[in-house]
Structures are given as C-alpha cells and as structure tokens.
Amino acid sequence: MRLAAGLFATALLAACGGGGSGFVSSGGMSSSSSSSSSSSSSGGSSLDPPGTVPLAMTHVFSSLSFQAPVDLLQAPGDAAHWYVVEQGGTIRKFDTATSTVTDFGDLTSIVTYAGETGLLDMAFAPNFPTDARVFLWYTTTISGQLTSHLSSFRLTTGNGSIDLSSEQVLITVNQPESNHNGGHIAFGPDGYLYLGLGDGGGSGDMHGPIGNAQNPDTLLGKIIRIDVTSGSTPYAIPAGNPNAGNPTCNLNGGSAPCPEIYAMGVRNPWRYSFDASDGSLWIGDVGQDLWEEVDHLAPAGSGFTGYNLGWRCREGAHDYNPTACGTATNLIDPVADYDHTVGTVITGGYVYRGTAIPALVGRYVFADSGSGKLWNIAGNTTATLQVQGGLATGLEIVSFGQALNGELYAVDYASGGLYQVTAP
C-alpha cells in the first residue's frame, strides 16, 4: 500500500508541475508507517532558520490509528476530547484519558473520495455546544460534476453525533479539476468563518485568461470570510469585506467581485491559523513548480481593501506568470518560502502559545508533508526568509492541531498516527 501511495504521489506532483494537494498520498492508510517517536533535534544546524528551537515529534495516543486523517481539533471548552477528520468522510471522537473512540459523523454516502477530494475539514461554532452546529467542507458529485460544499450540520438528539438530515448547504463551488480543493475552515477571533479555496486545479492556474486566483468574480483561489452567526440565510457579509454590498457568489461565482473575498491570489491554501495572541492569520500555501510559501496577514483594520498574495503572478516571492495575471497591484510577499530541493508540499501550522516549551512561545511551527521536515520561525518575521534545514521527522504531516491549552499536535497521513510537538 505504501508503494502504491508513493507512485500515486509522484504522478500527481508531476501532473501539477510540482506541488499537488495539501497531502501527498493517494488516500487510505499505509501499512508501513513511521510510528516510532522522533527524538532528533532541529537545532544547531547553520541551515536552520534563525533562532530555531530544537523540537521532536512524540507519538501519542499510540493505541489509536486513523484512516487517511486530514485534521485534528478540539471543541470549544472541551479539553477532554479530540476529533479526527478522515478524508473518506468520517469523523472520529476520542477521549483523551481513555482513548475510547466513538463515531461523530459519517458522510461516506455523499462524499466523493479520491486523491485530493473528500472530507477535508471541520469547524465548530464558536459557542458550541450552545450553538450545536459544525461546519464541514467536502467534495461531492452532482450530475457528474465534481462539486465542493461548505455546509452546516446540527447534532442528533441524545448521542451527540452529526445529523445528516440537518445539512444546510452554504456555499457550492463547481471544481473544474480534481486537485486543489483547498478546504481549511476556521473561525477567526472576529467571530467570522474563514474558508480557503484552491485555484480550481490543473497546472499553473489554467482556467481563464488570468486564472482564477486573480479573478475577483470567483471564489476559487481565495480565502473568504462570512458571518454565519447573525441569523442571515445562508450567511451575511461582514461589513469590512472589500466587496461588501455586491451579490453573493455562493453558487459558483458571479458577475461582480465576490463580497465573500477576504484575500485573493492563493494557489491551494493547505492549513492556516490565527495567532491566539494578536489574531493575525498565518497561511501555508502549496506551490507550483519551485516554491512553497508561508504568508502572514495582520487583522483587517479600518479602511481594509483586501489582501492579494500574488498567485499566479508570483510563486512565493518569485515571478511566475506576471504577464498573464491581470492588473494586480500591491502584492504581498510571503514571510518565508523554500524551494523544491527542501520540500514539496507545505502544511501550515500554528504560532505556539503553550507552556511546555517556553523557548518556542511566539514562534510559528509548520511542516512539509512531502519531505517530512518540520520548522519554526520567529513570529515577527517580515522580509521573506528562504527556509532550509529542518527536523527530518519521517512523517507525512498533513495537518496540525492546537489543543485548548496551546500545545501542538500533528497527524501523520501515512500511518494514521497522532504526534505531539515536544522538546527533544
């Protein structure tokens, strides 16, 4: 199974011209895993980012293994449980004290799962369980058309699992290709729901004269921000969004710049997070031919006109196709990037705000699922840092999870195991 997954990954990356999805394997758990704890340090090498804090990846909840896990999260106010999102369409809940696993949701009957498609993420309502809604981003097929849905679901009475009959589809996006489905969803400190969408797939943002990421009339290649707690149906547009007032694009796009857009010019944002200290947004955006990137955005203030992270004009901090990307201006360069001799598929992480590793507080932790490397950089990094070195974890880290106490965990797609970021 591991060999087959590796061959699939090679074909996929070649077809994409480099970076593929936010995960590398073909789907399904590998029988040969990197399940042992990693205790090697990332410190001490001149190739590591400045100020690198030595880290290790420690195998935790070792009796548990999951099928193609793509995210790990806790519900607001509940430190006693973790939820694991499995790409095939299931969500598992387990007790941190006993490791007892229960089923929280099963969307296998509606999810299209192959390669980069499937159930890709989940978010809890900010005041869950008072507002007993969960939000899911998944791929399905409607009349032969591959389609992504952002939907809300409520829980069943009694057993606390997702009630499929309660689905309210908020956003529908037709996917022209089977890759670059994006899919991270999270509530920001402003209470709004953020969703990252890939550029529609293929290679080089190939759809339309300037691609999708620089086209303001589509949600593809964007990070969007919507209000799902005000009671509006299907959602309201935050007043600070740049195109607020235009007709919504919740059905594939529109004829005017989409009011949902918060940031444009992303290729396939695979995992982003908000710093619990200052509310800034950190994004891992998967690259094309040469460069993977980390973007850092300050919270939107008064007079906010939106962010443009540059794809397909730029790949990382480097020109990609500047003559065929529209009239984009004020492009924002990443705070870090690295080339494909270092890694091939970035996985965005978190700014560490735990207590177990004091030296790591305020540093951003991220990984590359293709090379298995792990890095940490200063949270006040501004000029683009070209990252090298890194801790060779031997894992296929496709997502991080931040516990309510600020400690960081990660999922290994290859083995289905869970790991904690620790001191060596």
Instruction: Give strand pairing partners of 296.
Output: 282
For residues 131 and 152, the answer to whether their CB atoms sit within 8 Å is: no
Three-state SS annotation for 236-282? ECCCCCCCCCCCCCCECCCCCCCCCEEEECCCCEEEEEECCCCCCEE
Q: What is the pLDDT of residues 241-298, one digit of tens each?
A: 999 999 999 988 888 999 999 999 999 999 999 999 999 999 999 999 999 999 999 9
Which H or E run includes 9?
Answer: helix 2-16
Q: What are the two backbone dihedrals, phi and then psi, of residue 97, each rounded to the nearest 5 degrees?
A: -85, -40
Residues of the chain with pLDDT under 50: 1-43
Q: What are the two backbone dihedrals, phi and then psi, of residue 416, each rounded to the nearest 5 degrees?
A: 80, 10
The residues, any chain, with a CB within 8 Å of residue 126's CB and separated by 6 or more, are 76, 187, 191, 229
Going by C-alpha positions, the residue among 309, 313, 314, 242 that lies closest to residue 281 is: 309
| CA–CA distance, 210 with 197 (Å, rounded to integer) | 17
Distances (CA, A) of 56 to 114, 189, 346: 32, 29, 18
> Given this model, what pLDDT does residue 36 score?
40
End-to-end, the C-alpha distance of the chain in Å comes to: 31
> Given this model, what pLDDT does residue 4 score?
31
Q: How do beta strands 336-339 and 385-386 pair?
A: parallel
The residues, any chain, with a CB within 8 Å of residue 4's CB and separated by 6 or more, are 26
Q: How do beta strands 307-308 and 261-264 pair?
A: parallel
Cα dihedral 212, 218, 221, 227, rounded to 10, equals: 170
> Given this model, what pLDDT does residue 100 score?
97
> Given this model, what pLDDT does residue 8 score?
30
The residues, any chain, with a CB within 8 Å of residue 422's CB and separated by 6 or more, are 55, 56, 57, 58, 356, 357
> Given this model, what pLDDT does residue 15 score?
35
For residues 165 and 154, the answer to whether their CB atoms sit within 8 Å is: no
Q: Residue 114 is encoded by which pair of tokens? A: 């192959």
| CA–CA distance, 368 with 390 (Å, rounded to integer) | 10
> Given this model, what pLDDT does residue 41 score?
47
> Given this model, what pLDDT does residue 12 score?
35
Give the sheet arrangement for strand 391-392, strand by strand: 346-351, 363-368, 373-378, 391-392
Q: Residue 232 is encoded by which pair of tokens? A: 């509006």
Amino acid in position 261? I
Half-sphere exposure of 120 (CA within 13 A, CB side): 34
| CA–CA distance, 307 with 285 (Å, rounded to integer) | 14
